[in-house]
Structure 1
Amino acid sequence: MADGGIILDDQTLDIPSEPVSARGLTYPLGASPEPGQAIEAAPGVLWLRMPLPMALNHVNVYAIDDGEGWTIIDTGLRTPDTIQAWEAALAGPLGGRPVTRVIATHMHPDHIGLAGWLAERFDAPFLMTRLEYVTARMLIADTGPAPESGARFFHAAGWEDARIEKWRASYGLFAKGVAPMPPSYMRLSEGDVLSIAGHDWSILIGDGHSPEHACLWRKSDNVLISGDQLLPKISSNVSVWPTEPMADPLDDWMASLDKLEQTLPAGTFCLPGHGEPFMGVLPRVQALRRGHEVALKRLERTLRTPSRAVDVFPALFARPVGDGLFGMATGEAIAHLHYLERRGRAQRTPDALGVDWWTLTQKETGA
């Protein structure tokens, strides 16, 4: 999800790390569910998969048996295909039982797109962290025109005028992928415990990919519903956007990885927002951290020559960046540059046209 509401595949610009076979992960469930179907991922937890109209063609959602009905975790994007899949799931594997609660891990459209639709249909309470809820409401309302501060932000990153004009024209699309949000919500906070059919689920909060991402952890059998805070095969996007142009989200992300590593037992079974449920959360956390550390080292080598944010893509990403992913790649590049800048390892120098040129600091070059 790009700033200003451009809906993008926000999970496919992978920061390279080890090959999958070397990550120490196992996938015990085998085949993935078809849209409208479900697989029992853990006792009382059904795994459903909703279609996405993009390169990353699915999002995982989960239904937790709540006695008389179901607690739903994430919902998919608001599209006719997703609504059709939900209708089939509600009548089929969910057995016609009502939705008793809707929980969103975070505010990206593929996770909250039908939250309002489900909550209204079943008169069900909606649960989310405060920063995710208010950010979603802000982006839904922000339909344009595109702010000049955003144009200056992308110009400073090295965007050409034609690309900025395309950004202006597509500004404010967030709401198109999201049904009207519930007008009220119940706040989730770090350390909260939700009782679902007599089982306790603890709330773990992460940061970096989104502002206050909630994971649900059933400590009794070490089941973690991780949303996008921990994915098995791809790295979640960590970006700076024009709404908070001086942010350091990579520091937030690395701190969240440290927290997961220190909190979760080695035998935790992870139910992620994309990909397949897996065992091996600690090797995966370590691989994600190493991937960013290696990318930062490559970035430092690149900055021996003055570079704009758009010039450093090859140092960070595993594949070429096309037009559809350019905004996300820019945000992630700036996040890595800010991380180095905050640590005195890189510096920016605006030129006369307002474009930022990044270089290593003198102490890093040995000058």
Structure 2
Amino acid sequence: MATALNRTLIGDEGLTPTSWAGLTFPFGDRGPQPGELLTVMDGIRWWRVPMSGPLKHVNGLILDDGPELLAIDTGTASPRSTEAWRTILEGPLDGQRIGRILCTHMHPDHVGLAGWLSRRFDDAEIVMTRTEWLMVRMLAADSRPEVPEEQVAFWRGAGWDEEQVAHGSAKGWSNFGKAIARMPLMYHRIQDGETLRIGGSDWHVVTGSGHSPEHACLVDYDRRVLVAGDQVLPKISSNISVHVSQINDDPLGDWLRSIEKFKQLPDDLLVLPGHGDPFYGLHTRLDALRDEHLDRLDAIVDLMGDGPVRATDCFKVLFRRPIGLDVIGMATGESLAHLRRLEVEDRAVREERDGVWWYGRS
């Protein structure tokens, strides 16, 4: 998930109805109200699926797809998101059939109600990239109630104290499965470079990684539109994390390479993000996201000037707000992603002492 705890280029006090940090917001502050579908352009409607947490909602899109509709991203399997879907299905979409459900990536706020929606429309087809689909199936299948020993060791390695470990353990393990409705056994695979025909338009699949392994975005070059999901957000940065299952991966490196890949797209596209408002200024935003992460890498190296650090020690240079128990998991993953990138760049080395990882300058 994207997270509002990440650093941003400037604070919300810089926001105006029409521009922010070099971006242009064509809808100003006229976002869709609860139960409303706002027309972005002919055949594309935008709505907000409410959910709990600091982000409050995820953006959903409804695209005309011949005699049927295609829905993009769904919200979580929660009473609030489900009731919001019922409201629009019985209101502005009454009498229309959703034939396909496209999920940009694996996180519950984007895929949570895909299975429920598919069953409501007699096995409507779910469309995803293969890696995102398999990750959903894998995480949902791991339903053990207790936190695995490997995860506890991961927390301690990152610098968690006993209170933090106890809090993480008390939350249990199978929370992903609780946030998504049961998925069907079949899906339609999409992949980078493919062209999807949706209604009367060609949409080109462009994948990114770092936030999730094979995040799908869609570009309509004729109408100059990018469905960006969480790959490009206007005000916050997407969470880039190292997880217990990928301790030797380099998700921040993947993210930075994806930024360069997306900079090959036209700069005049209308960006429809997974959170926040539609905007113009794709390249400006990509540059800001890149520069912010590069700046944070340098800040961590400076921090190491006083001696080796743990992941938890990096919070003070990565985030503007104090990190409490409610967000320590995401903050830890983000810190480890930056430290891992520094290892890959040969700017830092890791040493393990009594089960704790210490990172110093190489």
Corresponding residue for residue 27 of structure 1:
25
Corresponding residue for residue 162 of structure 1:
163
Given candidates 251, 255, 258, the residue that maps to 1:256 is 258
C-alpha distance after superposition, 1:87-141 (max 9, x if no partner): 1111222242000100000010000110001111112111101110111111111
User: TM-score, normalised on structure 1?
Assistant: 0.93
* Aligned pairs (5 A) from 1:321-340: 321-340=323-342
2:83 and 2:34 map into 1 onto residues whose CA distance is 9
Amino acid at match of 2:277: E
Gaps of 5+ in 1: 2-9, 362-367
Corresponding residue for residue 15 of structure 1:
7
* Aligned pairs (5 A) from 1:295-314: 295-304=296-305, 305-314=307-316
1:43 and 1:224 map into 2 onto residues whose CA distance is 15
How far is 1:306 from its partner? Answer: 1.5
How far is 1:22 from its partner? Answer: 5.8
2:184 and 2:193 map into 1 onto residues whose CA distance is 24
How far is 1:18 from its partner? Answer: 4.4
1:252 and 1:326 map into 2 onto residues whose CA distance is 23
Amino acid at match of 1:132: E
Corresponding residue for residue 360 of structure 1:
361
How far is 1:23 from its partner? Answer: 2.3
Corresponding residue for residue 216 of structure 2:
214
Q: Secondary structure at the match of 1:303?
A: helix
- Conserved 8 A contact 2:156-2:356: yes
1:196 and 1:207 map into 2 onto residues whose CA distance is 24
Corresponding residue for residue 130 of structure 1:
130
Amino acid at match of 1:250: L
1:154 and 1:81 map into 2 onto residues whose CA distance is 31
Q: Secondary structure at the match of 2:326?
A: helix
How far is 1:166 from its partner? Answer: 2.4
Corresponding residue for residue 140 of structure 1:
140
Corresponding residue for residue 237 of structure 2:
235
Paired residue total: 351
- Conserved 8 A contact 2:208-2:216: yes
1:35 and 1:174 map into 2 onto residues whose CA distance is 26
* Aligned pairs (5 A) from 1:39-118: 39-118=38-117
How far is 1:67 from its partner? Answer: 2.2
Q: Secondary structure at the match of 1:226?
A: strand
Gaps of 5+ in 2: none
Amino acid at match of 1:330: T
Q: Secondary structure at the match of 1:279?
A: coil
Q: Secondary structure at the match of 1:238?
A: coil
C-alpha distance after superposition, 1:265-313 (max 9, x if no partner): 1110000000000011110000100110111111111111221110111
- Conserved 8 A contact 1:42-1:223: no
Corresponding residue for residue 292 of structure 1:
293
Tell me which moved more, 87-96 or 154-163.
87-96
Q: Secondary structure at the match of 2:246?
A: coil
1:137 and 1:165 map into 2 onto residues whose CA distance is 28
Corresponding residue for residue 273 of structure 1:
274
Amino acid at match of 1:157: A
- Conserved 8 A contact 1:15-1:292: no
Amino acid at match of 1:129: T
Corresponding residue for residue 322 of structure 2:
320
Q: Secondary structure at the match of 1:154?
A: helix
C-alpha root-mean-square deviation of aligned residues, in Å? 1.3
2:308 and 2:321 map into 1 onto residues whose CA distance is 22
Amino acid at match of 1:202: H
Q: Percent identity?
A: 44
Tell me which moved more, 156-165 or 229-238.
156-165
- Conserved 8 A contact 1:18-1:287: no
Moved over 4 A (4+): 18-22
